[in-house]
Chain A
Amino acid sequence: DGGITQSPKYLFRKEGQNVTLSCEQNLNHDAMYWYRQDPGQGLRLIYYSQIVNDFQKGDIAEGYSVSREKKESFPLTVTSAQKNPTAFYLCASSMQSDGTQYFGPGTRLLVL
Chain B
Amino acid sequence: AQSVTQLDSQVPVFEEAPVELRCNYSSSVSVYLFWYVQYPNQGLQLLLKYLSGSTLVESINGFEAEFNKSQTSFHLRKPSVHISDTAEYFCAGMNTGFQKLVFGTGTRLLVSP
Contact = CB atoms under 8 A, between A and B. Distances in A.
Whether chains A and B associate is: yes
Given A31-B99, A105-B42, A99 B105 contact: no
Contact of B43 (A40, A48, A98, A103): A103
A43 B94 contact: no
A110 B41 CA distance: 14
Contact of A106 (B36, B42, B94, B105): B42
A48 B98 CA distance: 11
A87 interface: no
Given A40-B105, A42-B90, A43-B103, A99 B42 contact: no
A48 B45 contact: no
Contact of A90 (B44, B100, B104): B44
Contacts of A31: 99
A31 B43 CA distance: 18
Contact of A103 (B41, B45, B94, B100): B45
A50, A90, A103: residue with the most chain B Cβ atoms closer than 10 Å: A103
Interface string B95-107: 0001111011110
Interface in A85-112: 88, 90, 92, 94, 96, 98-106, 108
B45 to A, nearest CB: 7
B99 A103 contact: no
B36, B46, B103: residue with the most chain A Cβ atoms closer than 10 Å: B103
Given A40-B9, A42-B106, A101-B101, A106 B90 contact: no
B99 A43 contact: no
B94 A99 contact: yes
Contacts of B98: 50
Interface of B: 9, 32, 34, 36, 41-46, 49, 51, 90, 94, 98-101, 103-106
Given A101-B99, A108-B41, 16 more contacts: A4-B43, A42-B106, A43-B103, A45-B100, A48-B100, A90-B44, A92-B44, A96-B99, A98-B51, A99-B32, A100-B34, A100-B49, A101-B34, A101-B101, A104-B43, A106-B42
